[in-house]
Amino acid sequence: MAASGLGEGSTAGSKTYGTVTASLSLANTSSTHPFSFLPANSLEPKATRTKGLTEIRGPYYAPVTNTYLDELLKDWGEYVDGVKFAGGAFSLMPEDRLRTLIDTAHKHGCYVSTGGFIERVLSASGGDKAVVSKYLTTCKNMGFDVLEISSGFLSIPTDDWASLIEFTAAHGLKPKPEVGIQWGAGGDASIEELESAGTRDPKWLIDRAKTFLDAGAYMIMIESEGITENVKNWRTDVISAVTSALPADKIMFEAADPDVFAYHIQNQGARANLFVDHSQAVQLACLRRGIWGTGSTFARVVTFEGTGEHFRKGGRAVHNEPSEKY
């Protein structure tokens, strides 16, 4: 699998998205870092990364332009794996400008996600298969890699949701369903409004995530509303239930708040898959590498270089083996 489960034809030092091939610098081995002699956490290089993924929000709360995105990824692209549109912003852009933004992300080895706009497509079309197919085909033709399938505002049967995942994959896109516990999630609702809507049991989330992975989802996005966003008290019990029940390389938490992504790093480690705002990419990178943090994380986030051997042995403990085998 490529660094983010995307980009067929990828090599150790490059990824190919559509017609754009990106050369990737390797954060832990690059001689271009003048301070590489200083100790920092060892993380997988971008070209082969499957854990510790960082997805950033693109245009929505701020109008991320091509010039800004290009400059951001020139400087920090090795710490960013994906770029996600939000609120259907891409549907308002002229084709040439949208293609330019997508190509820029690909140039820097990042996948591009639609965000959860399919909710709008489903609600406007009543789930008409032809309309949904046209939407998926257009997304694929524009160069999108990942199609997020959220339903925070919708009531949709689980079997229909799973069929939509299969339908998305058949169109050549990576299906990324978003699941959560909060009814009416996905907007800028108040705490009181969401509290009155109610929440689901965490088991509901986990059962559906497993069904969606079986249906071909490449990753599950965990909606933050009702867990760490727009709540009076964080539902850390939900986070624990999710991380205990689902594979770490198949879940990504929304964490577009520094306190939230710091909590995930504290409790899952530096290789947690996280979605943050583009303005937070550098702060998260410093936290993952263990070079900076707040009073609760400074010098406390660490990794172990032997992890690669553990993974190559299938993640199982090996007993009574000579140390040189490691």
pLDDT digits (tens, 9 = 90+) for 302-326: 999 766 665 556 655 555 555 455 4
Nearest residue to 265 via CA among 291, 226, 230: 291
Winning range, highest mean pLDDT, from 7-16, 27-36, 49-58: 49-58
What CATH number is associated with residue 233?
3.20.20.70
Q: Is residue 7's pLDDT more than 50?
A: no
Q: Residue 28 falls within a domain, yes or no? A: no
How many whole angstroms separate alpha carbon 59 and alpha carbon 203? 33
Q: Is residue 204's pLDDT more than 80?
A: yes
Cα diameter, the chain: 63
Predicted local distance difference test score (pLDDT) of residue 200:
86
Nearest residue to 263 via CA among 296, 219, 285: 296
pLDDT digits (tens, 9 = 90+) for 279-300: 999 999 999 999 999 988 999 9
User: pLDDT grade, residue 185 (50/70/90)?
Assistant: low
User: pLDDT grade, residue 42 (50/70/90)?
Assistant: confident
User: pLDDT grade, residue 154 (50/70/90)?
Assistant: confident
Q: Is residue 79's pLDDT more than 60?
A: yes
Average pLDDT on 117-138 reads 97
Q: What is the pTM of this model?
A: 0.86
Q: Residue 326 falls within a domain, yes or no? A: no
How many whole angstroms separate alpha carbon 148 and alpha carbon 150? 6
Give the domain range for residue 231: 46-289
Nearest residue to 121 via CA among 88, 162, 86: 88
Q: Any idea which of 25-29, 168-172, 297-301 has the lowest mean pLDDT?
A: 25-29
Q: Residue 142 falls within a domain, yes or no? A: yes
Q: Residue 129 falls within a domain, yes or no? A: yes
Q: Residue 275 falls within a domain, yes or no? A: yes
Q: Is residue 23's pLDDT more than 50?
A: no
Q: Is residue 194's pLDDT more than 70?
A: no
Number of domains forming the structure of the chain: 1
Predicted local distance difference test score (pLDDT) of residue 308:
60
Predicted local distance difference test score (pLDDT) of residue 182:
84
Q: Residue 29 falls within a domain, yes or no? A: no
Q: Residue 170 falls within a domain, yes or no? A: yes
Q: Residue 162 falls within a domain, yes or no? A: yes
Look over the chain and give the mean of its residue pLDDT values, rounded to a whole number.
Answer: 87
